[in-house]
Structure 1
Amino acid sequence: MAKLQSLDPHTPMFRQFQERTGPIVLANTFAVPRERTEEFLALFRRQAEFMKAQPGFVSLRMHRGTAGSRLLMNVAVWESTEALATALGSPEFQRMAADFPDDIVSYPHIFEPIDV
């Protein structure tokens, strides 16, 4: 399973899920060894198909770092933290998450859209 790290150590994921809000954006940056990129993307595509079918899912987009970066970033929009938490907590998602290699590091964080 990929290692989970807090993007903001002052606001760990469990605390973010306690905030009942929506819509939300889940930005999840992954540090993936270059030799594992294709394997990671294949596993992620399976996960993405599952997530797209979950209640409260809105959209998802994967981004690749430039200039040879080993970073990939998923940006997913959900109707609420509750919908995301339910999808992530499902046994099927948990089985898929366990398939990710241990040398991948995930930095997830939940955001609320704001006007600027």
Structure 2
Amino acid sequence: MAELRSLDPNTPMFAQFKEEAGPIVLANTFVVPKGEAEAFLDLFRRQAEFMKAQPGFVSLQMHRGTAGSRLLMNVAVWESTEALAAALGSPEFQRMAAEFPDDIVSYPHIFEPIDL
């Protein structure tokens, strides 16, 4: 299973689910070892198909770092923190998450949109 780390140490990921908010954006940056990106993306595509079918899902897009970066970043929009928490907590998602290799590091964080 991928190692989860906090992007903001003052606001751990699981603490963010305590705040009812919506819509929200989950930005999840993954550090993927060199040569493992395609295998990671194959697993991620299966997760994405599952997530797209969950209540409260809005959209998702994966981004790849440039210039040989080992970073991949998923940006997913959800109707609420509750909907995201339910999807992430489902047994099916947990089984898929356990398939990721231990050498993947994940930095998930929840954001709220700001009108400018």
TM-score band, normalised by shorter chain: over 0.9
Q: How does 1:31-70 map to 2 (within 5 A)?
A: 31-70=31-70
Counterpart for residue 107 of structure 2: 107
Instruction: Give RMSD over aligned pairs.
Output: 0.4
Q: Deviations over 1:25-67 (max 9, x none)?
A: 0000000012111110000000000000000000000000000
- CA deviation after TM superposition for structure 1 residue 14, in Å: 1.3
Distance (Å, rounded) in 1 between the aligned partners of 2:109 and 2:13 = 7
Task: Extract unaligned runs of 5+ from structure 2.
Answer: none
Distance (Å, rounded) in 1 between the aligned partners of 2:61 and 2:108 = 14
Counterpart for residue 3 of structure 1: 3
Greater fraction helix: 1
Distance (Å, rounded) in 1 between the aligned partners of 2:7 and 2:113 = 18
Distance (Å, rounded) in 2 between the aligned partners of 1:34 and 1:54 = 32
Distance (Å, rounded) in 1 between the aligned partners of 2:29 and 2:13 = 14
1:12 pairs with 2:12: yes
Q: Which stretches of structure 1, 4 residues or more, deviate above 3 A after TM superposition?
A: none
Q: Which amino acid aligns with 1:109?
A: H
Q: Secondary structure at the match of 1:87?
A: helix
Distance (Å, rounded) in 2 between the aligned partners of 1:38 and 1:14 = 28
Task: Extract unaligned runs of 5+ from structure 1.
Answer: none
TM-score, structure 1 length as denominator?
A: 0.99
- CA deviation after TM superposition for structure 1 residue 112, in Å: 0.1
TM-score, structure 2 length as denominator?
A: 0.99
Q: Identity over the aligned pairs, expressed in percent?
A: 84
Q: Secondary structure at the match of 2:68?
A: coil
